[in-house]
């Protein structure tokens, strides 16, 4: 394990760089990648390091960045307590996630503010597992026509004054906010957010094509869980989906688990969107990493059967039990893309969208040592966050 004083050399791996795979290793000093080393030079660097890690011919990937995750291993961000946050970040670190946004649900204002307060407090601590880099507010400013697994009782029209007050109290904490762009007040909120460092995202929306284009003109730059909980594509009214597929200003999140979106629809998305505009997410809930059974999401009863989560009332899909390494493997099997291309969708694209690519999201000299080591079949063996080993199988 690398420390601020020590060094670690990970060798005998397929290093997934931004544009290629290099057989060799990575030298870490403290929390920083100091060198990416070809196999021919490994012996020299092994002699320099305090700790060496034999990758045994596996893969070394940039740590995954999950922009849309509600929970995991029995923890829910809406619980707004450090125990839940530890459970979530520890579990997802074991699946290769090194950074995430604590994602809320449509809920009463005071419940959302509790999440903001708890996340801000958690970030002031050591964050021993995956890093919480901010909050993603999913709702409550969504469409009652497309609630999905959100609680309709708490849906509100966009309240820009709330957003301004939250930003003033917790500067920079809210990194992403999902709303329905067609609702009253949404355009003003989108414009303000785009000018103040918050990613304005379309989701749970009944917007027609022209409304999404107008929202993109105002600064909208992302769509949550593309295909799900949004107006679909029609050849005479392309709808929300048509705008997402065709407007390259909009990044498209995708849940690659085979339940939320058919593999053919994922391939359609990949054919339509530039590769740097697709972002893998989990939308994971507290049931991720747990057995089938009864759970909650945003105060609503959820039943998980065969790993698929649905609301007990109405049977709507209710988030997922997906992990980022699971999404990575699914894409390898069904998308036709290479590990390098999928890595960008699991790490680099989110880092660029969040404005943190200069320090994380790829393996390069001078960047944080946010890394995940897998075996040849892409099962996670070890995860490092800023050079600290936070998981070992």
Token reading at 378: 């892409």
User: What does the alpha-carbon distance between residue 4 and residue 112 come to, in Å, rounded to a whole number?
Assistant: 36
User: What does the alpha-carbon distance between residue 350 and residue 224 come to, in Å, rounded to a whole number?
Assistant: 13
| Cβ atoms 137, 176 nearer than 8 A | yes
Task: Give the Cα-Cα-Cα angle 169, 82, 87 (nearest 5 degrees).
Answer: 130
CA distances from 18 to 29, 30, 293, 338, 342 (A): 21, 22, 40, 12, 10
Token reading at 319: 């988030």
Please confirm, yes or no, whether 283 is among the known catalytic residues: yes
3-class DSSP state of 240 = helix
CA distances from 385 to 12, 97, 198 (A): 20, 9, 24
Cβ-based neighbours of 388, under 8 Å, separated by 6 or more: 1, 2, 3, 31
User: What does the alpha-carbon distance between residue 291 and residue 300 come to, in Å, rounded to a whole number?
Assistant: 18
Single out the residue of 100, 105, 114 nearest to residue 69, CA to CA: 100
| Cβ atoms 282, 68 nearer than 8 A | yes
User: What does the alpha-carbon distance between residue 280 and residue 252 come to, in Å, rounded to a whole number?
Assistant: 9
CB neighbourhood size of 81 (10 A): 15
9-23 burial code (b ≥16 CB/10 A, e <16): bbbbbbbbbeeebbe
User: What does the alpha-carbon distance between residue 67 and residue 345 come to, in Å, rounded to a whole number?
Assistant: 11
Catalytic residue among 188, 283, 294, 370: 283
Show which residues are catalytic.
Answer: 283
């Amino acid at each position: 394990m690398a420390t601020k004083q020590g060094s670690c050399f990970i060798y005998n791996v397929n290093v997934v760089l931004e544009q290629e795979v290099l057989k060799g290793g990575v030298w870490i000093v403290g929390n920083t990648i100091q060198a990416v080393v070809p196999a021919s030079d490994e012996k020299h660097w092994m002699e320099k390091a305090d700790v060496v890690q034999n990758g045994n011919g596996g893969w070394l990937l940039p740590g995954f960045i999950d922009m849309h995750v509600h929970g995991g291993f029995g923890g829910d961000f809406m619980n707004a307590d450090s125990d839940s946050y530890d459970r979530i970040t520890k579990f997802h670190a074991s699946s290769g996630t090194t950074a995430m946004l604590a994602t809320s649900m449509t809920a009463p204002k005071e419940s959302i503010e509790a999440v903001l307060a708890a996340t801000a407090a958690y970030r002031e601590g050591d964050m021993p597992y995956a890093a919480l880099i901010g909050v993603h507010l999913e709702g409550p400013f969504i469409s009652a026509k497309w609630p999905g697994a959100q609680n309709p009782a708490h849906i509100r029209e966009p309240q820009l004054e709330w957003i301004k007050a939250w930003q003033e109290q917790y500067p920079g904490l809210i990194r992403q906010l999902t709303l329905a762009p067609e609702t009253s007040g949404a355009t003003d909120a989108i414009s303000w957010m785009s000018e103040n460092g918050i990613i304005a995202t379309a989701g749970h929306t009944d917007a027609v094509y022209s409304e999404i284009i107008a929202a993109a003109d105002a600064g909208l730059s992302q769509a949550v869980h593309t295909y799900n909980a949004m107006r679909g594509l029609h050849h005479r009214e392309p709808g929300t989906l048509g705008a997402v597929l065709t407007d390259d200003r909009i990044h498209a999140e995708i849940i690659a688990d085979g339940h939320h979106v058919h593999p053919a629809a994922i391939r359609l998305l990949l054919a339509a969107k530039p590769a740097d505009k697709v972002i893998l997410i989990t939308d994971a809930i507290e049931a991720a990493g747990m057995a089938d059974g009864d759970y909650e999401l945003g105060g609503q009863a959820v039943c998980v059967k065969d790993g698929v989560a649905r609301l007990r009332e109405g049977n709507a899909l209710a988030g997922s039990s997906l992990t980022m390494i699971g999404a990575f493997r699914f894409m390898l099997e069904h998308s036709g893309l290479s590990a390098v291309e999928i890595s960008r969708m699991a790490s680099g694209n989110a880092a660029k969208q969040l404005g943190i690519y200069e320090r994380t999201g790829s393996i390069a000299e001078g960047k944080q040592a946010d890394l995940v080591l897998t075996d040849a079949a892409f099962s996670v063996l070890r995860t490092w966050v800023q050079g600290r080993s936070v998981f070992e199988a």
